[in-house]
Amino acid sequence: MGIYLGLVASCFIRESTIFGVALRTSTKMHLAMCERVLRANILFFDSNPIGRIITRFSKDMAVLDLIAPSVSILMTYGIFRAFTVTISLVIINYWLLIPTALSVTYLIYLMRNAKTAMIQA
């Protein structure tokens, strides 16, 4: 009974955390989008009809609300799967820790470069 209770509690905590993160992300994104649209130049509103602006706004929010939580769940599963496989490999053959450390270092390097490239774009 305790094992099942622990599994249910862990699923509840996971889903609550994902819901909270999705809610905060959606709220911050909505506020940022509203801020950018409200502070846009008049030329933006002259060249784009209001219907196009609202459609784009609602499409972006729909993607954030519907697709992002499921992708984050899959990403979390993938990260934990990779972590457990790495632990299993290192337990079996500790020499595999060297290529694993190099791979993680390279991954962190790529993620930092991608983050700076996204900020500059």
Whether the predicted model's global pTM rises above the 0.85 cut: no
Q: What is the pLDDT of residue 102?
A: 92
Tell me the residue length of the chain.
Answer: 121
- Taking the chain (121 residues) in runs of 10, the rounded mean pLDDT of each run is 83 82 83 86 85 84 78 81 85 88 89 72 54
